[in-house]
């Protein structure tokens, strides 16, 4: 079955620095890759997603890149702020005809932004 690996498990950066989180997936049929942010005791919230027909997507300080050949995708956060501190999860799924099937999640990255 599908497997998603995520690294690093913890990441500490200084405010204003960039943070990069990397994931790899095993199922070549996967074509939808969302990233979720989860604060302690809260629900996972989608922050950005990318589909396999594009290689990069950006939304203000957040960007995601996808390398289908290598089955890698990465989250980039620039100009980090203390409120970016949270656990970030990558996920992979198949999405045909607009129907997102089950998401397979990575193990998460605890990002700590030091003021």
Partner 1 sequence: DTGVSQNPRHKITKRGQNVTFRCDPISEHNRLYWYRQTLGQGPEFLTYFQNEAQLEKSRLLSDRFSAERPKGSFSTLEIQRTEQGDSAMYLCASSLVPGQFSGNTIYFGEGSWLTVV
Q: Are strands 19-25 and 72-77 parallel, antiparallel or unpaired?
A: antiparallel
Instruction: Please report, as residue ranges, which positions from 60 to 89 form the binding site for partner 1 (by CB under 8 A).
Output: 89
Examine residue 46 and tell whether it contacts partner 1 (CB under 8 A). yes
Q: Which of 21, 33, 44, 113 binds partner 1 (CB under 8 A)?
A: 44
Residues 64-73 as b or e (16 or more Cβ within 10 Å = b): bbbeeeebeb
Examine residue 98 and tell whether it contacts partner 1 (CB under 8 A). yes
* Contact of 113 with 82, CB cutoff 8 Å: yes
Q: Which residues bind partner 1 (CB under 8 A)?
A: 4, 6, 32, 34, 36, 42-46, 49, 51, 89, 91, 95-108
């Amino acid at each position: 079955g599908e497997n998603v690996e995520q690294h690093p498990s913890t990441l500490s950066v200084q405010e204003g620095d960039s943070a990069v989180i990397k994931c790899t997936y095993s199922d070549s049929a996967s074509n939808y890759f969302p990233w979720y942010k989860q604060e302690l005791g809260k629900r996972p919230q989608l922050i950005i997603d990318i589909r396999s027909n594009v290689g990069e997507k950006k939304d203000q300080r957040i960007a995601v890149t996808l390398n289908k050949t290598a089955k890698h995708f990465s989250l980039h956060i620039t100009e980090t702020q203390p409120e970016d501190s949270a656990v970030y999860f990558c996920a992979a799924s198949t999405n045909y005809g607009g129907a997102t099937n089950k998401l397979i999640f990575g193990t998460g990255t605890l990002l700590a932004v030091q003021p």
